[in-house]
Structure 1
Amino acid sequence: MEQGQGAERTAPAGLRTGAGLRHGCMRLLPPFLLMLALAAPAQASDDGPLEVTQRTMHWQGATESGSDAWYRDNWAKGSIVMPYVTSSRKDVAARINDELYMGLIGIPAPSAAGANFELTIPADDSALVGTSSLEFELARDDEHIFSVAVTQEGCGAYCENYTTHYHFDATTGRPFAAAEVITSAGKKDIVKRMDREALGQYRKMLKTLQADLALQLKTGKPSQPGGSVDDTRDRIELNEHCLQEVLERQQDSSRNLDEDFRYLAMAIPDDKGVSFRHERCSNHASRALDDVGDVNLPVPNAQLRGMLTDYGRFLFFGGDRPREALDPFGVFLHGKIGQSPIALRIAVEKGSQQVSAVYYYDKYRRPIALTGTADGDRFTLTTSKTDKDAETFELVRHGSTLAGQWHKGNALQPVSVGP
């Protein structure tokens, strides 16, 4: 397996609390760091940091044959290590855990603490297909924001590491994205600053490479072990191409800066600011020639404050919670179908009437996918089963809650879910 370039650099600095397979070897934490990572007070205060432990997926599935047997064999060796949040605020911890486990594994989070967890659905139905290892790093964890960086090694035609950052409102457990906390003017400013940062890095690298090439041509010796004139020329060509791409973006009169912002990843390494990352210019085939790699743009709090929405200022600096932060979408809501406890999450795409959702019964903890439509505050959701077996939710929004009815065939039950 091949380790992706820059995976460690893209994750925020902090205590690494996961373990992954690298070149067939298990990377282990030093004992004193492992003790720090796993030590946790019995309870967290109402406004204190959430506590995080690590849980390894216990895999006993088939790995004997098939093109994907090699990565499932890694699972059997403990290569999937997830965070697990605990707190005296059980509803907050449950929302964060469900968001992480549903998004990364494809299952509801374990309902109780422990050192391991089971993959409770078929491997081919999980979100782990093509993932050989997964580890995490805790970033910001205070009374305002809980943020964690998850690094995975994904393999298809080739293997590569990539890091995804997950951010949560620490008072509610609600996930949030950069687009929700940065104003339109702030997004445009960040995209333009990222362009300038990229241009500066490519120009600096070109200057270095061109000097190296001149020295090699003069002395007949490579400037780096294993280097060559052809290799340096290839690097120059790649950086010139990357530089030209940025210049063309800047000159594009039809460019939508708000749309371009969506392609930047935001990390929250601590309470001093954020950083944005633009993925490297090179493709996998030319990755070895890309000396710049990902372009990172740090934004300290002094600059960040003026770019934030009302909700963003509340999250990063405290104060009064804005009303729009209390909507029931994009977060797991808990309630009941009849007398059966459930959790339901609805995703609504802005400007669209199409919605998607997932729910599960607390007793069985198996995800059930739903699709449907929105008409104002009214939602109709159904499973993808045949008409005879289809389950349908008809719900109405009331502030931060949803209520209505569930029916399947002749069975009809009331539904109510909320924060």
Structure 2
Amino acid sequence: MKGSLSGVALMLLSVGASATQLQISNIDYLYPDSTITQYRLPWFSSPDNPIAAKRINDHLFSTFIFHLPGKDPQATLNQLAKTEHGMEGIETLDYHVQYLGKNILAIDILGEWCGAYCEAYTEPVVFDLSTGYRVTLEQIITNNGMDTLATKVRKDISDKISTFVAQQKALPAEKQRDEDGVIMDYEAFYAECLARTKNPDFTDYTDRYSLNEKNITFLNGRCSNHANQALDDLGDFQTPLPVSSLNEMLTPYGKTLLTNEPRQRTAPLPGLSDRVLYGTLGKNTRIVLNVSCQRSYIQGAYFYEKYGAAIGLSGKCSPENTQHYELTTSSNEAPAEKIVLDLKEGRYQGNWQSGGKTLPVQFD
């Protein structure tokens, strides 16, 4: 059988006032008739905090292979990999644990996605070990701090581009020529990218961050499109900043996670985005929700626990308003579904509508 579930490490982590055992195992799927791994995902288990471990696993599976792991995650991965459209577009998957601290787990998902062409990507994810929820930058950094970080990252990328262009222009003409004898105009090549770094309203540069014990690192893609990738000598951008430099920018929840100061644990504000939520549809049908609000649009899916397949959802959202959401299915193959949710008494509650039928829905 292709794929194996093998124990990798047993680590003792301090979460809050108690010690938590977090075991990390591999779930692997090999290329057909090969010993080379095509898909590899982590699997977390914890005898002390099984709910947090389950939420982390469900988040990774539902986000990156669009399916819940079910009772046997290895069998789920095997089945999806062998099905014609089960892993459609996902050429490879791997992971790297960046950091395991007393409060957080930081992991990078490494993959290759293929559509009209293939692109490699790295998607960093940070989890709160006490809850298993994903930790977004907006939860741990104040609004003013977000502006400060965006400015720092813009300046870093701007400086890297400007320095590189100046260095190339300073070279003798013969060293500026490529193998075809053409002088590359790097100033024009990076002009659009450089212009974005001068725009204070362009905040995308802080969308993706990775974390370890010493640094928070903002990850940004290259300036070029796929067709011009070979000409882009700068490639992807990484902007590391010391975690210690964030102290004045941290929210109370951020201080709970990232400082060693003894303090009462503070929870993040309620929200729907980037959190795996467990709920009930109708009387007792268990469902799972995983959606993300980016700018003014929300995308993601909900899943029936019994079946595990993703049912795509989309809608409008606002980072400033986490009280009300209206989500609709994005598939044209079935009657449209609509989920309306309001935050009441700390939980999202509302109704599910489809084909003239309405059922109550609520999330724990």
Q: Same fold (TM over 0.5)?
A: yes
1:326, distance to aligned residue in structure 2 (A): 3.9
2:118 partner letter: C
Alignment match, 1:192 = 151
Q: Which structure has the highest strand share of the two? A: 2
Answering whether residue 37 of structure 2 is matched by residue 93 of structure 1, we say: no
Higher relative contact order (CA 8 A, sep 6+): 1
1:339, distance to aligned residue in structure 2 (A): 6.2
Asked if the contact 2:63–2:290 (Cα under 8 Å) also holds between the matched residues in 1, the reply is: no
Alignment match, 1:365 = 308
Answering whether residue 276 of structure 2 is matched by residue 332 of structure 1, we say: yes
Answering whether residue 273 of structure 2 is matched by residue 314 of structure 1, we say: no
CA offsets per residue over residues 322-351 of structure 1, 9 Å max, x none? 454344554222344466451331647489
CA offsets per residue over residues 37-58 of structure 1, 9 Å max, x none? 7133699985436332211247
1:245, distance to aligned residue in structure 2 (A): 3.9
> How large is the RMSD of aligned CA atoms in angstroms?
4.4
Answering whether residue 129 of structure 2 is matched by residue 170 of structure 1, we say: yes
TM-score normalized with structure 2 length? 0.75
What CA distance in whole angstroms lies between the structure 2 residues aligned with 1:413 and 1:267? Answer: 40
Task: Map 1:121-200 to 2 at 5 A.
Answer: 128-200=87-159
**Identity percentage over the alignment?**
25
Correspondence for 1:292 among 234, 242, 258:
234
Asked if the contact 1:136–1:149 (Cα under 8 Å) also holds between the matched residues in 2, the reply is: yes
Asked if the contact 1:143–1:171 (Cα under 8 Å) also holds between the matched residues in 2, the reply is: no
CA offsets per residue over residues 298-327 of structure 1, 9 Å max, x none? 110221222333332222226444454344
Correspondence for 2:62 among 84, 87, 102:
102
What CA distance in whole angstroms lies between the structure 2 residues aligned with 1:392 and 1:267? Answer: 34
1:417 partner letter: F
Alignment match, 1:256 = 201
What CA distance in whole angstroms lies between the structure 2 residues aligned with 1:376 and 1:265? Answer: 21
1:48 partner letter: T
1:104, distance to aligned residue in structure 2 (A): 0.8
Question: How many residue pairs get matched?
Answer: 352
What CA distance in whole angstroms lies between the structure 1 residues aligned with 2:185 and 2:50? Answer: 55
Cα pair distance change 1:235/1:158, threshold 3 Å: farther
What CA distance in whole angstroms lies between the structure 2 residues aligned with 1:103 and 1:413? Answer: 26
TM-score normalized with structure 1 length? 0.67
Asked if the contact 1:394–1:406 (Cα under 8 Å) also holds between the matched residues in 2, the reply is: yes
Of 46-55 and 142-151, deviating more is 46-55
Unaligned runs of 5+ in 1: 1-33, 60-72, 223-227
Cα pair distance change 1:57/1:192, threshold 3 Å: same
Secondary structure of residue in 2 paired with 1:241: helix
What CA distance in whole angstroms lies between the structure 2 residues aligned with 1:326 and 1:299? Answer: 28
- Which of 1 and 2 has greater Rg? 1
Task: Map 1:261-410 to 2 at 5 A.
Answer: 261-262=205-206, 264-268=207-211, 270-317=212-259, 319-322=263-266, 324-327=268-271, 329-337=273-281, 340=284, 342-345=286-289, 347=291, 349=293, 358-370=301-313, 377=323, 396-403=342-349
What CA distance in whole angstroms lies between the structure 2 residues aligned with 1:210 and 1:338? Answer: 66
Task: Map 1:230-245 to 2 at 5 A.
Answer: 230-231=178-179, 236-238=184-186, 240-241=187-188, 244-245=191-192
Secondary structure of residue in 2 paired with 1:248: helix
What CA distance in whole angstroms lies between the structure 2 residues aligned with 1:162 and 1:251? Answer: 26
